[in-house]
Chain A
């Protein structure tokens, strides 16, 4: 029996596409909005803390806020909570800077058994690498365009 003679490939693919279980888009957007929003609220609170309590200047506040959020993202990854959060928050916990920390700390934890050079060292940026490569590349391009516009 040759199943390909009885079922057409494109028909099968179309049926799969049409009948496969789909994500609950609205529910996931709402969750992402709430969790992402709460992380941003935390960021705002850190801003105020830096400004009002520690009396930092603008650059100082920015650095303070980012450093604390990155620390928290790394900490919650380390104690195994961030992936649980990510399961229902989706983009809400991936997009903020804490998600970036998660994407670097999780491979670091995972590949420590392969050693600190060829394990952690080599695999640290497996997830964050593409973001860095294209993030930095595009900012260079934007910078050059900005410069040219300035000169003209």
Chain B
């Protein structure tokens, strides 16, 4: 069983292995610079379904099925499915779990769900409570617009700091099975941090302090400098949020500029239509599973720190004048250190 290290970090005794992983993305993501990396892509945002909600569900289902298949397992081997998405009552995940018939834990961590689910999944596996666990977040541009913003066809422009919710899903199979795989070495659960930003079109600025706190706490806890990792990957800070993270971390004596990557900045490349970049649970999930994990297996990265970030507000709280509480969890993944 794992042990606590430093202030907040958990180090796993028998680091859970990432046996299989998958990514499913829509058209804009496919047309981005990493389009060729993803397992399944589709053109039409309805993907042959009647509603966008059904399309998102299909994405998450395909991601779960593909990840299980790629690990050489069967749905019946999975002990726990940990899912989450951005919709009210996390319906995409609940309905996918209904179809899969695997014991289900639903999470709401907003865009941090990939980290969130890996954290709980790794704890379950290392604690000996589950042999194989699937972690599966998803988000869909059209369902998120309906949930948080305006109807799709409404002709209002977005502000320059706005980000685009990614139409993407990813799934990771964590397992106690030994072998040469990327494995989850340690994890640092983050605190909810709120710096009083209330502009829901400026999530990057709202989330940057949470990311900074979790990354610095993690590095302090394990007694390492940022260069210890080949990449420190934030979820969806976007262009402006990333700039803030680098600036404030360096003011506190941590220079992240050499190793920092942001999934939100990477997903769409220089596409101006996306303003500050991508966001959503699927943004970090698809980049982790489509790009970073395959790169680790190829040997291009040995150690990464994956820090998905989330904004924990709702349209109601925003209208009532509340500021945006944010969170970030850090997951350290290392290649081939498995016992």
Cβ of B155 under 8 Å from chain A: yes
Is B217 part of the binding interface, using a Cβ–Cβ cutoff of 8 Å? yes
A54 within 8 A of B: no
Find out whether the CB atom of A109 lies under 8 angstroms from the CB atom of B50. Answer: no
Of A20, A78, A83, the contact of B202 (CB 8 Å cutoff) = A20
Q: Is the CB of A20 within 8 A of B205?
A: yes
Query: For the complex, would chain A's binding face be called helix, strand, loop or mixed by DSSP majority?
Result: helix
**B155-A3 in contact (CB<8A):** no
Count of A-B contacts judged by CB separation below 8 Å: 106
How many Å lie between the Cα of A110 and that of B158 in the bound state? Answer: 19
Q: Is B240 an interface residue (CB 8 A)?
A: yes
Question: Which one of A7-15, A59-67, A137-145 is at the B interface?
Answer: A7-15
A25-40 CB contacts (< 8 Å) to partner B: 28
Binding site for B on A (CB under 8 A): 1-4, 6-7, 9-10, 12-13, 15-16, 19-23, 28, 77-78, 80, 82-90, 93-94, 99, 102-103, 105-107, 109-111, 113, 126-127
Evaluate whether A102 and B155 lie within 8 angstroms (CB atoms) in the complex, with A1-B213, A7-B248 already known: yes
B252 within 8 A of A: yes
> In the complex, which residues of chain B have a beta carbon less than 8 angstroms from the beta carbon of A2?
213
Residue pair B220, A80 in contact (C-beta under 8 Å): no
Q: Is B216 an interface residue (CB 8 A)?
A: yes
Given A1-B220, A12-B209, is A20 in contact with B51 using a C-beta cutoff of 8 Å? no
Answer yes or no: B339 CB below 8 A from chain A CBs: no
What residues of A have a CB within 8 angstroms of the CB of B244 in the complex?
A: 15-16
Taking CB atoms, residues of chain B closer than 8 Å to A6 are: 252
Chain A residues whose C-beta falls within 8 Å of the C-beta of B151 in the assembled complex: 106-107, 109-111, 126-127
> Which of A9, A28, A94 has a CB less than 8 Å from the CB of B155?
A94
Sampled A-B contacts (28; CB under 8 Å)? A1-B7, A1-B213, A3-B216, A7-B195, A12-B196, A13-B197, A15-B244, A19-B240, A20-B161, A21-B161, A21-B239, A21-B240, A22-B160, A23-B159, A82-B153, A83-B152, A83-B153, A83-B155, A89-B155, A90-B157, A93-B155, A106-B152, A106-B153, A107-B151, A109-B153, A110-B152, A111-B151, A113-B50
Closest A residue by C-beta to B193 = A3
B276 close to A (CB within 8 Å): yes
The residue on A at minimum CB distance from B198 is A13
Q: 1/0 per position for B1-17, CB-CB distance to A under 8 A?
A: 00000010000000000
* Contact partner, A87, options B150, B157, B240, Cβ 8 Å: B157
Q: In the assembled complex, which residues on chain A have CB atoms less than 8 Å from the CB atom of B216?
A: 1, 3
Cross-chain contact B193 with A21 (CB below 8 angstroms): no
A34 to chain B, nearest CB (A): 15
B202 engages A16 (CB within 8 Å): yes
Taking A7-B248, A127-B150 as contacts, is the C-beta distance between A85 and B155 under 8 angstroms? yes
Once bound together, how far apart are the Cα atoms of A28 and B153, in whole Å?
Answer: 20
Given contacts A88-B157, A106-B153, 20 further A-B contacts (CB under 8 A): A1-B216, A2-B213, A3-B212, A10-B196, A19-B240, A19-B243, A20-B205, A21-B161, A23-B160, A28-B157, A77-B155, A82-B155, A86-B156, A87-B157, A89-B155, A102-B154, A106-B154, A106-B155, A113-B50, A127-B154
Name the B residues within 8 Å of A102 (CB-CB).
153-155
